[in-house]
A and B are shown apart, each in its own frame.
Chain A
Amino acid sequence: MKKNYMARTVTEILIRLLFFILMPAAFSSGFLGIKLLFTSIGKGETLNIGSLWILIGLSVFTIVFGRFFCGFVCAFGTLGDAVYAASGFVQRKILKRKKQLSIPEKPTVVLQKIKYLILFVIAVLCVFDIYKSLSGYSPWDVFSRLMVFRLPGDAYWAGSIILLLILIGMVFKKRFFCQFLCPMGALFSLLPVLPVSKIQRNERNCIKGCNACRKNCPVHIKAGENILRDGECIACEKCIGVCPKKNLTQPEKKLIKNELFLLVIKAALVFVMGICLGFCRFF
């Protein structure tokens, strides 16, 4: 069991690292589609399908496989994971805390709604064509600049400060940006996911009072419950990896038995899509 868990952790980290290097701007390329969509609508112009392909591609992928993009591909998600892990290391090893300081469940569930508001506000700003004059406020733009080893410049001071605040937030909550602030995540969580890709829990085999899956969920989803909020699931598969009885599965696993292989297949699909739609660096 331990060996399995290690293999999964290593695979997950490799996939995230690879996408972090290859597709650091995938999220902003996809979100650009949303901005252009609402800008066109605001002007009463026809929608330019050519500029929406990345958005459409990522949305279709999310509908078929769940938010694998959020869980493994998005560079901002990986950044959040890394910052939170580093924070945990510091807290335990240096500050000698037993438990890592983190925002508890109840406020988390409320804070998760902020991202829908952000998506809505950005959409409205685009409709009234105000957004483009506010690009200096975008932490994503600052991050994109940094990823290509460029300093963001004076015009981005506000975005830089916001990015800094987000990084501080990442210290205190796993996937802080993803679950609270990400407008792309808000859109993805509103998309339906094919039932075959939903994680399900076989409760009959559970160890009484274990709930390791629920306790380890970064977005506080109760595995086994079917609720509207399950759109919050970022398909990080933490619950699958942590379950001592291997009780969590996706129906799609009936087709491909090896769960790590399934992860690699999904990653490969995103990679191919990235090359085809042109949001993959170096290729």
Chain B
Amino acid sequence: MTHGGDGQGTVVKLTKKDFVSDQEVRWCPGCGDYAILAQMQKVLPELGIPREKFVFVSGIGCSSRFPYYMNTYGFHGIHGRAPAIATGIKVCNPDLSVWVVTGDGDGLSIGGNHLLHAMRRNVDIKIVLFNNRIYGLTKGQYSPTSEFGKKTKSSPMGTVEPPVNPICLALAAEATFVARSVDRHTDHLAYVLERAARHKGVAFVEVFQNCNIFNDGAFEPFADRSVKEDRMVVLEHGKPLIFGKNREKGIRLNGTTLEVVTLGDGITEADLLVHDEKRPDPAIAFLLARMDYPEYPVPVGVFRAVEKPTYDELVNAQIETAIAERGPGSLEKLLRSGDIWVIE
């Protein structure tokens, strides 16, 4: 059952159409953003939340046009600051489902500080970072996730800076929900977005998103349909890490190192690492996050999903405690607090 308010207090069924705004979508034809928008519009009606309770907040960049295309409340902010705007919204109205849509430049470069602090505070907002490893809207400069040595307009001889791994960053900030998916893996993307939506606390989702204009095929070497089964591994809670066309390969934890093993020849499923997204300590999730093609399969799925009190919940609990202990504030009494004297 899917539900939404019609403004009269009765419950109506919402569909994907209800979340499509009247604005013309202006991303480049073939952009991965379309796929993410479609999955979001598909997932939201499934949540049983009235449409007016959704707020999409964004920064600057191609991905940050996202709120205009959602028929919900939306705030297209300034570069990198969406997590701060979203924090203000969520603290003031914890009833809302508040989403941040950001990109690798917006979220990890100019807005890195806000992203870090929203995650470590565990503000109950959902952050979807579209990672295309390039600056699209400014027409093709390298981004903080561009691979070392990448040649772009602003790095004709190749970059000399190592990229940041968004999942590692989220885990280091101890975000309570950390996941990754791929724009074209639509079913998996829908699954991850729905998991994020249902998580209580900050949810960080990295989506590998193809920029077909400035960085086409960035994820194809491992995410293309023809190779993904051999070059990616899907993390599933409580299940051993198995991948490969014939599900013949796995990931084993050897001391503090992960290694790729082939099942058979004395190695069985029992030897493999069993994924535990609820593990409080993010250390193993961090090892998984560092796996990268070609040495390892690239992991997607939920790296971490733990429960902790949320920032907005704690802030508002202090308000309630203060009112319970001291009574609702009286302006008259407040003005007269401290030493007062009377002139006759």
Whether A associates with B in a native complex is no
Please list the residues of chain A having a beta carbon within 8 angstroms of any beta carbon in chain B: none
